[in-house]
């Protein structure tokens, strides 16, 4: 497969906080960006992989924000179609919620935290110091989702589907030292005694890209029309 048709689904509803979506999209510079709350949608018949961004919206606000119901359907569709998918923060939560998991408001943690990361290919080369920036958390995983990362403040810090190529992380692989001033201003960032020098979360994007490529390579020749 020479090229990948990746789609980054932006979920932010607050104009002033969209920089995290920008940063995640920048990790996939060849991807098509889809603004889901604005009504744009992913053409699943063309998608090799999907990335769901974070959001200041809560997945439990679906009745007030109907696009969240639609994104839950998107999650079930990508699973049914076996399309590799990565969910980040809100994306992590909406994937689990779409599969009947439970997400609750738990209070904001805005800091560099130490995570326990399983020996999963998504975490290859990823340091255990990661960016936590969330007020909601998955407290019960969705059907067929297993925990692959945890932290002291969040026992479900990352998940993986048992059979479909779907991974989620509660932490933010896209946020780095360049965002620190903004984090302090917007989220009362807890500096603690940890440095962004230890953060290598951006490698999640490279690892996911490799997983997408390998997924379709293994499934060839039945999918030779993808990216050939």
108-138: buried (b, 16+ CB within 10 Å) or exposed (e) per residue? ebbbbbebebeeeebbeebeebbbbbbebbb
Class of domain 6-219: alpha beta
**Rounded Cα gap, residues 185 and 210, in angstroms:** 35
Q: What is the mean pLDDT of residues 5-14?
A: 98
Q: Where are the domains of the chain?
A: 6-219
Report CA torsion sign: 150, 154, 157, 160: positive
Tens-digit pLDDT profile for residues 128-173: 999 999 999 999 999 999 999 999 999 999 999 999 999 999 999 9
Whether the model clears a pTM of 0.85, i.e. scores above it, the answer is yes
Transcribe 154-189 into DSSP letters. Answer: EEEEEEEESSSSEEEESS-TT--GGGHHHHHHHH--
Per-residue pLDDT at 221 exceeds 80 = no
pLDDT of residue 227: 43
pLDDT of residue 193: 77
pLDDT of residue 228: 40
């Amino acid at each position: 497969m020479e090229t990948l048709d990746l789609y980054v689904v932006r979920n932010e509803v607050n104009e002033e906080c969209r920089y995290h979506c920008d940063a995640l999209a920048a990790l996939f510079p060849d991807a098509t960006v889809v603004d889901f709350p604005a009504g744009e949608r992913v053409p699943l018949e063309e998608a090799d992989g999907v990335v769901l961004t974070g959001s200041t919206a809560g997945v439990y606000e679906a009745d007030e924000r109907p696009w969240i119901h639609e994104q839950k359907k998107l999650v079930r569709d990508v699973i049914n179609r076996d399309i590799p998918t990565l969910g980040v923060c809100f994306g992590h939560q909406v994937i689990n919620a779409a599969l009947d998991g439970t997400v609750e408001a738990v209070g904001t943690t805005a800091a560099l935290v130490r995570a326990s990361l399983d020996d999963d290919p998504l975490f290859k080369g990823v340091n255990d110091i990661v960016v936590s920036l969330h007020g909601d958390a998955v407290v019960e995983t969705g059907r067929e989702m297993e925990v692959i990362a945890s932290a002291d403040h969040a026992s479900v810090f990352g998940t993986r589907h048992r059979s479909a190529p779907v991974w989620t992380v509660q932490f933010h692989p896209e946020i780095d030292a360049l965002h620190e001033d903004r984090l302090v201003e917007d989220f009362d960032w807890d500096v603690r005694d940890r440095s962004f020098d230890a953060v290598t979360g951006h490698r999640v994007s490279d690892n996911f890209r490799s997983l997408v490529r390998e997924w379709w390579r293994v499934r060839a020749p039945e999918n030779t029309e993808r990216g050939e």
